[in-house]
């Protein structure tokens, strides 16, 4: 497509973008054609634009259903800043304010109406407002954003979303567009069914997020200092995810005490406090949010530069979505997972607690699923393969590996010979089998390390010849070896009920000395804090900006913050980091040049062009 293509011209005029992101154009064209559609694009893929641009080009109002007030407000603000007439109706408005907005809609002055599902489906809203509106101004389409909320299989199920299928019945000639970032097949199918979409055009974008750097690090005594160093060296916003509320509170206080502007966020804080913390984070008043997974869908902040999982996530899907909150703006961002031995125990403990609330019987299905999910996360953490390839394979998307932007690609872990240890572990399993005893990895490792537990001694395990022969290795190393043997097919594990280790033909080859066992150095031991390595990874994570542009970028950020505060909007509403980076690189000093910066549309050129170009002009002399 050339720059003179009318669709691209509209894209630049309204949003200031020179080109579509992958997948966007096809969705926009289908939306313009007026068929139902289901678009699945990762977080940061740019879903909003896929319905906002058609809303501007089609006749009538586009009605957008959004699950959270914060999301609605955010989008309406962003649109307003691009000079686009959009409004929302929800419970935060006074009766008078809502009536005024409804009048404006009836006069055809509004292009997009954001509305909560409860409101949309409340008595009378459809009959006495929407249906008449369709006859006069027209309704171009219904967009269901965050459409996975309709599915019980998803993580944010909202019963009100179920009612939305009524739209399909009542407005048979208005197209319905569903958008979601869910990666699971089951949820996708459920969306189309629950919303009664009519032969929807299906768009599934790649889930690869090339700008995200992925790494796994051991969690230990030095982790907090690493976290601190990371927050200090990366000036941009970050999120630290923890499993428990208690941990969130502790960690945010520790960060505060160390001079980092951090706030906690979890479901145990009251609504007012949560809103305030989220607001201060979005406005860049604080740098770091320490949170449980309760801090999620509502964050549309595009310039989160890093996400650190300080505890092991519960599932790969969860990890992908949480880490994916980094770098929505397409600029480099880092995702680091800390992984420690204690995490496995905590996770197993939590799984064992999944019991029936009345009878106390274990919920076996749930426990089995949770164990399987845990195993997948552990496999990811342990893997020596390209992290991106492992993640995408999990979602059924092929990737050739060697992404060049993860720890395993940049700094591969060396292979080591673990044949001796493998023999010790396998013979422990063999000895137990001789006694007709079958155990899971935990007990086998305890035996190898010679644990003096009541359980082992009363079972007579301390009389086994293998008892204590592995005391020289940490339990974590033995865990890593066990997982590696399972992955290499040199050991088996039953998956029904409690997992139990079993030998197979390959195990016997190792025991007879016919086969050697290689394993990547365990995460805990492999990566020192070698300066060269750390620096290389930091550059890959985009945390070390080019020093020449750096000063100007920081000056532009300060100007952005000042303007945002004056206008009472979050800084990213003024410009996102990608735009500031382009300014720092290209240094436009007049309006013409400024218009060429990505993210600068007609409205922003008028409104901000002078201030920013003035800063760039003034900044240059004292830099030379
Ligand atoms: P999603 O809803 O898919 O997570 P958003 O619609 O919030 O993503 O968009 C994420 C970011 O990408 C926003 O900052 C948006 O301005 C930016 N963006 C969207 N489309 C483009 C594009 N074509 N070119 C550059 N930036 C874009
Ligand atoms: Mg979105």
Cβ(488)–Cβ(517) below 8 Å: yes
* 302 Cβ closer than 6 Å to some ligand 1 atom: yes
The total of other beta-carbon atoms located within 10 Å of residue 244's CB is: 14
373-377: long-range contacts at Cβ-Cβ below 8 A with a sequence spacing of 24 or more?
373/314, 373/315, 373/316, 374/312, 374/314, 374/315, 374/344, 374/347, 374/348, 376/315, 376/316, 377/312, 377/313, 377/314, 377/315, 377/316, 377/319
- Burial class (CB within 10 angstroms; exposed 0-12, middle 13-18, buried 19+) of 619: middle
Look at the alpha carbons of 34, 39, 41, 44 in this order and tell me if their dihedral is positive or negative: positive
At residue 106, the 3 state secondary structure works out as helix
For ligand 1, mutation pick of 9, 20, 25, 46 (most atoms within 8 Å of CB): 46
DSSP 352-363: HT-B-TTT--B-
Kindly give the interhelix angle for 419-434 and 441-448, rounded to the nearest 10 degrees. 110
- Maximum alpha-carbon separation in the chain: 87
Going by their DSSP bridges, the two strands 237-241 and 262-265 should be labelled as: unpaired
- Are the C-beta atoms of residues 252 and 374 closer than 8 Å to each other? no
Assess contact for 443 and 479: CB atoms under 8 A. Answer: no
DSSP lists the bridge partners of residue 180 as 40
> What pLDDT is stored for residue 622 in this prediction?
54
- The total of other beta-carbon atoms located within 10 Å of residue 43's CB is 20
Domains of the chain: 6-204 (3.40.50.300), 212-410 (3.40.50.300), 415-520 (1.10.10.10), 548-623 (1.10.150.80)
End-to-end, the C-alpha distance of the chain in Å comes to 40
The whole-number pLDDT of residue 328 equals 92
Closest by alpha carbon to 216, among 516, 564, 537, 556? 537
* Ligand 1 centroid to residue 391 C-alpha, Å: 22
46 lines ligand 1 (CB under 6 A): yes
How far is residue 380's CA from residue 382's CA, in Å, rounded to a whole number? 5
d(CA 102, CA 21) in angstroms, rounded, equals 34
**How far does residue 550's CA lie from ligand 2's centre (Å)?**
30
Cα distance between residue 577 and residue 575, in whole Å: 7
Task: Work out which ligand 1 atom sits closest to the CA atom of 24.
Answer: 23
Q: Which ligand gives the minimal distance to the CA of 42?
A: 1
Contacts (Cβ under 8 Å, ≥6 apart) of 37:
27, 30, 31, 175, 177, 178, 197, 200, 201, 202, 203
Cα angle 22, 23, 28 (rounded to 5 degrees) comes to 125
* Whole-number Å distance between alpha carbons of 595 and 610: 11
Tell me, using a 6 A CB cutoff, whether residue 82 lines ligand 1.
Answer: no
Contact 87, 76 (CB under 8 A): yes
Pocket of ligand 1 contains residue 300 by CB under 6 Å: yes
User: Helix, strand, or coil here: 35?
Assistant: coil
Cα of 39 to ligand 2 centre, how many Å? 12
Give the mean pLDDT per block of 10 residues along the chain (624 residues): 78 93 95 95 94 97 92 91 94 90 95 94 90 95 95 82 91 95 87 94 94 92 90 90 94 96 96 92 94 85 94 91 94 93 81 86 86 89 92 91 93 88 94 86 92 87 90 87 90 82 94 92 53 45 57 91 90 92 92 92 91 88 48
| Structure tokens that stand for 222 in this block | 């030095």
Atom of ligand 1 nearest to the CA of 576: 14
pLDDT at 546: 54
State the pTM of this model: 0.81
Total count of residues recorded for the chain = 624
- Residues 442 and 469: their CA atoms lie apart, in Å, by 16
User: For residue 11, which of 600, 570, 509 has the smallest C-alpha distance?
Assistant: 600
Q: Which two tokens stand for residue 598?
A: 């990505």
Q: Is the dihedral of CA 308, 403, 184, 74 positive or negative?
A: positive
**pLDDT value for 547:** 66
Task: Give the closest residue to 414 by CA, choosing from 337, 527, 338.
Answer: 527
Atom of ligand 1 nearest to the CA of 48: 6
Q: Which ligand is nearest to the CA of 48?
A: 1
**Residue-level pLDDT at 387:** 97
Closest listed ligand to the CA of 39: 1
The pLDDT assigned to 419 comes to 94
Angle of the 341-352 helix axis to the 364-382 helix axis, nearest 10: 170
- Residue of the CA atom closest to atom 23 of ligand 1: 20
């Amino acid at each position: 497509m050339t720059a003179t293509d009318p669709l691209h011209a509209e894209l630049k005029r309204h949003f200031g973008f020179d080109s579509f992101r992958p997948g966007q154009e096809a969705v926009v064209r289908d939306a313009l054609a007026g068929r139902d559609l289901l678009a699945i694009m990762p977080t940061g893929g740019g879903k909003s634009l896929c319905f906002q641009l058609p809303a501007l080009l089609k006749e009538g109002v586009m009605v957008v259903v959004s699950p959270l007030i914060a999301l609605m407000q955010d989008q309406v603000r962003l649109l307003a800043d691009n000079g686009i007439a959009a409004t929302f109706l929800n419970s935060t408005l006074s009766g008078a304010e809502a009536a005024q907005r409804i009048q404006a809609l009836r006069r055809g002055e509004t292009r997009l109406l954001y509305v909560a599902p409860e409101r949309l489906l409340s008595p009378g809203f459809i009959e006495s407002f929407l249906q008449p509106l369709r006859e006069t101004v027209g309704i171009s389409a219904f967009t269901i954003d965050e459409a996975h909320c309709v599915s019980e299989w998803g993580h944010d199920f909202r019963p009100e979303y179920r009612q939305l299928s009524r739209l399909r019945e009542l407005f048979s000639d208005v197209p319905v567009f569903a958008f979601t970032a869910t990666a699971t097949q089951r949820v996708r199918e459920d969306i189309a069914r629950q919303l009664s979409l009519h032969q929807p055009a299906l768009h599934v974008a790649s889930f690869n997020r090339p700008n995200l750097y992925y790494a796994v690090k051991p969690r230990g005594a030095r982790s907090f200092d690493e976290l601190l160093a990371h927050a200090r060296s990366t000036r941009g916003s970050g999120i630290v995810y923890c499993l428990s509320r208690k941990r969130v509170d502790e960690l945010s206080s520790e960060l505060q005490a160390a001079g980092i502007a951090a706030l906690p966020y979890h479901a145990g804080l009251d609504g007012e406090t949560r809103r305030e913390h989220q607001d201060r984070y979005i406005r860049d008043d604080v740098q770091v949010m320490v949170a449980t997974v309760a801090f999620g869908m509502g964050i549309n902040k595009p310039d989160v530069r890093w996400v650190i999982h300080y505890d092991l996530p519960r599932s790969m899907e969860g990890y992908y979505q949480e880490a994916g909150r980094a770098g929505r703006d397409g600029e480099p961002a880092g995702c680091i997972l800390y992984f420690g031995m204690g995490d496995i125990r905590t996770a197993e403990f939590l799984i064992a607690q999944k019991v029936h609330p009345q009878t106390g019987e274990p919920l076996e299905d749930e426990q089995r699923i949770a164990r399987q999910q845990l195993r997948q996360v552990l496999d990811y953490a342990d893997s020596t393969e390209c992290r991106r390839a492992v993640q995408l394979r999990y979602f059924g998307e092929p990737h050739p590996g060697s992404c060049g932007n993860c720890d395993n690609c940049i700094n591969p872990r060396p292979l080591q010979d673990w044949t001796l240890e493998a023999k010790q572990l396998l013979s422990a399993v063999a000895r137990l089998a001789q006694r007709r005893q079958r155990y899971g990895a935990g007990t086998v490792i305890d035996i190898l390390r010679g644990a003096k537990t009541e359980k082992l001694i009363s079972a007579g395990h301390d009389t086994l010849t293998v008892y204590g022969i592995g005391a020289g290795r940490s339990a974590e190393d033995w865990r890593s070896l066990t997982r590696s043997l399972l992955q290499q097919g040199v050991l088996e594990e039953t998956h029904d009920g409690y997992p139990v280790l079993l030998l197979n033909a390959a195990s016997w080859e190792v025991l007879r000395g016919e086969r050697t066992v290689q394993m990547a150095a365990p995460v805990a031991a492999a990566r020192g804090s070698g300066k060269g390595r750390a620096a290389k990874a930091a550059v890959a994570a985009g945390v070390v900006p080019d020093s020449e542009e750096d000063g100007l970028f920081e000056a532009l950020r300060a100007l952005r913050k000042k303007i945002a505060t004056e206008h009472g909007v979050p800084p990213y509403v003024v410009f996102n980091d990608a735009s500031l980076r382009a300014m720092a690189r290209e240094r436009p000093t007049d309006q013409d040049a400024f218009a060429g910066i990505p993210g600068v549309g007609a409205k922003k050129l008028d409104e901000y062009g002078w201030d920013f170009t003035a800063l760039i002009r003034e900044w240059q002399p004292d830099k030379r």
